[in-house]
Amino acid sequence: MTDLKEGVCLSAFWYSHEQCCWTSNETTFDDRDKCPKWQKWSELLVNQSEGASAYILNYFLYIMWALSFAFLAVSLVRVFAPYACGSGIPEIKTILSGFIIRGYLGKWTLLIKTVTLVLVVSSGLSLGKEGPLVHVACCCGNFFSSLFSKYSKNEGKRREVLSAAAAAGVSVAFGAPIGGVLFSLEEVSYYFPLKTLWRSFFAALVAAFTLRSINPFGNSRLVLFYVEYHTPWYMAELFPFILLGVFGGLWGTLFIRCNIAWCRRRKTTKLGKYPVLEVITVTAITAIIAYPNPYTRRSTSELISELFNDCGALESSQLCDYINDPNMTRPVDDIPDRPAGFGVYTAMWQLALALIFKIIITIFTFGMKIPSGLFIPSMAVGAMAGRMVGIGVEQLAYHHHDWIIFRNWCRPGADCVTPGLYAMVGAAACLGGVTRMTVSLVVIMFELTGGLEYIVPLMAAAVTSKWVADAFGKEGIYEAHIHLNGYPFLDAKDEFTHRTLATDVMRPRRGEPPLSVLTQGSMTVEDVETLIKETDYNGFPVVVSKDSERLIGFAQRRELILAIKNARQRQDGVVSNSIMYFTEDPPELPANSPHPLKLRRILNLSPFTVTDHTPMETVVDIFRKLGLRQCLVTRSGRLLGIITKKDVLRHMAQMANQDPESIMFN
């Protein structure tokens, strides 16, 4: 569908340009991109392939197709599944930390995000499919969990399934099963025990096997950007690799700050009320600017693939337009460094313009009300910068091979520098600068390209980009969007070193009304319904009586509402004056009393509790590792108060000299 913006395959309209020309016997080596079966829209409609009128018609139809795809995608998201927008990874991280976003992993979200992801990638917008595929995989994991009571009734086991699903999503997106497991461990999951590691590994294996069986790339390979370089890297090249890491860190910082500022403006102004208009405007600007430049007109995946490629004898790209020595008799795979030709210099300034355009337009694209990933656009920015640096180093080594830095490893007539390797390193650096990934990033990159020999340059660039980006702010793009959206998320990477106690954080505080509680056998149905109506708490502690305040358990608000509703419909004699009890045996009631309602089955008899003198460092660690939403504070079995995750976050903000009331939650 991406190529549909430029033309159509006459033999099968669902074929891309490349697939259409594979089956043609009339394609020549010199005109390998042209074949009779593939026709541009100007050739099909007015029978012209060259000239101003043909160019204008193709230009116009390119914009119209892009607008059509984008409008259909944003309309489907807006009408049927509002949660299908965005990357999905910030929300998945929040869900795995213990927060519930109802409907976010639902069936409609799965269906609409799958369909609209195809449309938005085909529209030519500066976004990727990898992040949304993690969301899609988690939707599948949630759906299958709901089919088995072992997982549907156990929140901890459901989270383990979602961790494995996230690994499978990256495995499918990149063809990188081990990288997917490490991505789930490093970036997404909150709690990752050994059994979850094994299950994630198995899920990623099955996903990769299925992907290989389908063979979506048509090259019998699992990886998306397979490369095969014929020269090793040299120690002197570590300096430009580190420079690319610095660029990646700076790009990551710039992108995060600008994108968050734009998204905050979208939330606080009238701009957020017109998501369809915003998507149409950004798509129109993208298509109008992208079409004249061949490096922005094509899909981002094709662009990255071309930037990663080594220049062999069979390459026809402008990036490989070098001046050849007519007396050269070397093998095809061992072409020496050559002076750049006119095509290379043309490609350099076109890449420079494409780089500036990608940097700017990605800031405004990520976060719109459509499925939008960030992996591929970030890699494209880094790959363009890396390829230009690689060509520069290559030409410097060719023309000044007698310099001391080149003398020991770059002899005249040798193949010294591989510009495609620089593109690969630059892509890793920019992706690391935006997401702050390190280990999983390096593994994904070498699985993605097959470049196992180049792990050290990738490691150097990834670590450098993280150091540089962390110097300006510790938050990656996903953590920044979590805070922007107001999700109660405790980052496991942050340290809490203050010496406060649970009693300093718990509610109610001095001067506040007492805690809303339920008694085990003295409240009526009407009393409980009134309490639920007047408060918005997610649950209530259950005590023996309001005088003793001895803790019995904890009842969830949602389960209370459902239990009362079902009892009124199905049990005879349950009325507003019926006594509700949480004990095994009903309380002694007068003979003419209405039928009591037993709700012990919905009572959590072992809620997590801490004493009032428990250090907050321990409480924070408990919230992180167990994914708790609340924890009760007691002294000798007597209920004193409650600590929620939001209370913990406000307290941490206060300890960091921030205004605790500035922490906004959805």
Average pLDDT over residues 400-425: 76
- Domain assignment present for residue 103? The answer is yes
Residue that the structure tokens 């593939």 belong to: 38
506 and 480 share a domain?
A: no
Work out the pLDDT band at 661, boundaries 50, 70, 90: low
- Domain assignment present for residue 493? The answer is no
Residues in the chain: 666
Full residue range of the structural domain in which residue 643 is found:
502-662
428 and 570 share a domain?
A: no
Crossing angle of helices 525-534 and 557-570, in 10° steps, is 140
Average pLDDT over residues 551-560: 91
Q: Are 282 and 125 in contact (CB under 8 A)?
A: yes
Residue 665 pLDDT more than 70? no
Query: Taking Cα atoms as reference points, which of 56, 70, 422, 119 lies closest to residue 244?
Result: 422
pLDDT digits (tens, 9 = 90+) for 202-249: 999 998 888 888 766 666 666 667 777 777 788 888 889 999 999 999
- Write the CATH number for 307: 1.10.3080.10
- Domain assignment present for residue 316? The answer is yes
Residue that the structure tokens 């809620």 belong to: 607
Report how many domains make up the chain: 3
Going by C-beta distance under 8 Å and a sequence separation of 6 or more, which residues neighbour residue 400? 406
Give CA–CA dist 571/574, Å, rounded: 6
Structure tokens at 30: 């010199």
Could you tell me where the beta strands, DSSP code E, fall in 182-237?
none
Structural domain ending residue among the three candidates 449, 484, 519 = 484
426 and 540 share a domain?
A: no
- Write the CATH number for 540: 3.10.580.20
Residue 24 pLDDT more than 90? no
- Domain assignment present for residue 492? The answer is no
Q: Are 527 and 560 in contact (CB under 8 A)?
A: no
- Domain assignment present for residue 565? The answer is yes
Query: Taking Cα atoms as reference points, which of 166, 287, 174, 325 lies closest to residue 158?
Result: 166
pLDDT of 141 reads: 92
325 and 355 share a domain?
A: yes
47 and 194 share a domain?
A: yes
Residue 130 pLDDT more than 90? no
Phi, psi of 544 (to 5 degrees): -65, -50
What stretch of H or E contains 20?
Answer: helix 17-22
251 and 173 share a domain?
A: no
- Domain assignment present for residue 288? The answer is no
Structure tokens at 70: 């984008």
56 and 187 share a domain?
A: yes
Average pLDDT over residues 493-515: 85
Give CA–CA dist 168/393, Å, rounded: 38
Edge to edge, the sheet with strand 597-598 lists 523-524, 579-581, 597-598
What percent of the chain has pLDDT above 70? 90
Going by C-beta distance under 8 Å and a sequence separation of 6 or more, which residues neighbour residue 188? 89, 92, 93, 96, 134, 163, 166
Residue 201 pLDDT more than 70? yes
Cβ neighbours, 10 Å, residue 301: 18
Angle at 622 between CA 148 and CA 604, to 5 degrees: 50
Secondary structure, 3-state, 457-476: HHHHHHHHHHHHHHHHCCCC
What stretch of H or E contains 597?
Answer: strand 597-598
367 and 444 share a domain?
A: yes
454 and 542 share a domain?
A: no
pLDDT digits (tens, 9 = 90+) for 524-543: 888 888 999 988 888 899 99
441 and 558 share a domain?
A: no
- Domain assignment present for residue 290? The answer is no
Residue that the structure tokens 């001391």 belong to: 404
418 and 558 share a domain?
A: no
pLDDT of 330 reads: 47
Which range of 368-372, 483-487, 585-589 scores highest in mean pLDDT? It is 368-372
Residue 267 pLDDT more than 90? no
**508: cis peptide before it, omega within 30°?**
yes
pLDDT digits (tens, 9 = 90+) for 315-351: 667 777 777 665 554 444 456 566 777 878 888 999 9
Structural domain ending residue among the three candidates 455, 484, 513 = 484
- Domain assignment present for residue 222? The answer is no
105 and 135 share a domain?
A: yes
- In sequence order, the β-bridge partners of residue 518 are 542
